[in-house]
Structure 1
Amino acid sequence: MKKALVAGILTYITACNSVKQESEAGVVDKEQIKKEIQAKEDEFAATYNTGELKNIGYYADDATSFFQNRAPLVGKESIIEFLRSDLASNSNKISFKTNEVFVSSDGKQIVEVGYFKVVDSSNATINSGNYMSLFEKRDDKYLCIRDMSISENPVE
């Protein structure tokens, strides 16, 4: 009886410890991920604002971007080509603010909700609005696989 009781207690302790380890391994740091996503947005804006679009590891090769008043841009090259043509016709500057992140329980997917602002060369706001981006962790880095934005400016 004593052996059975000791064996039962040991089994219970072992089971509790393995459950605890599994739950600790599954914990994601939402605030750290939010900082990481904001850093990606800051790097994207800084690169865009220099006028030289280089591969900064923001978009996945199979990304799709939904810009306003146009068909979806499919693939990283399509998105970059659109951004380059946009830069050729203006000297606007953009900034992004990550407001919220919704993180999957395993930390492999993140939906970001944020705010963007575009200013002209005199620093006057010419556009602002909100966006949502879906990031997926690939090769230990978050890459944007889908994004869309909406302007706060009234439709003319």
Structure 2
Amino acid sequence: MKTKTQFVAFFLMAAFFLASCNTTTQAPEAALNMDSVKAEIQTLEDAYAAGDKAKDADAIAAYYSDDAISYNSNEEPTVGKAAIKERIAARIAKETSGQSSAYKVVDVFAAGNGAVEVGTWTTTDSTGKEVDKGHYMSVFEKRDGKYICIRDMSVSSMPAKPGM
């Protein structure tokens, strides 16, 4: 019995020693400061809204990565930053009522180099009257030290118009 106990103790010590000699150990991943991530993403949303208010498709498109895909109601996904910019420019060209939108980060879930944002948006006319509102989700990837949107999806929470 004593020999068996000594063998088990020796085995456990050897296993511990071998495990501690592993030269491919990884440093523990630093915990993300979620308040900082949320603030960084809110800054991106505010820049998007400022670009929208200024009717500047380039400023809005800066939110997206070159390989982004954007999903919107009642249309096929828009693939790539260039196509997203074209869609935005077409929307801006049609909009003549002085509408502007505001975006608010509600939740952020992040780990490693990725983050998912859930938010709300409100569109108002030139008098400040709410004309549309909804929800969105955006997926971000940290590239070159900054978050950039690689996927987004948006839906209106207003009642559907008759015939839609």
Alignment TM-score > 0.5, same fold:
yes
SS in 2 for 1:110: strand
In the alignment, which residue of structure 2 is the partner of 1:124? 129
Please name the residue that 1:137 is paired with: 142
Measured against aligned partners, the alpha-carbon deviations of 1:87-122 in whole angstroms (never above 9, x if no partner) come to 112131011000110001x2x000000000111112
Correspondence for 1:46: 50
Correspondence for 1:74: 79
Contact 2:51–2:59 (CA<8 Å) still a contact in 1? Answer: no
User: Which SS does the other structure have where 1:103 is aligned?
Assistant: strand
Aligned residue number for residue 113 of structure 1:
118
Q: How does 1:5-154 map to 2 (within 5 A)?
A: 22-23=27-28, 25-55=29-59, 57-90=62-95, 91-104=98-111, 106=112, 108-154=113-159
Count of residue pairs the alignment pairs up: 137
Residue ranges of structure 1 left out of the alignment (5+ in a row): 1-7, 16-20
Pick the structure with greater CA Rg: 2
- Map Cα deviations across residues 6-61 of structure 1 (whole Å, 9 max, x no partner): xx9xx99xx7xxxxx933x5211111000000000001110111012224631000
Assess if the C-alpha contact under 8 Å between 2:69 and 2:150 holds in 1. yes
* Identity between Structure 1 and Structure 2 (%): 38
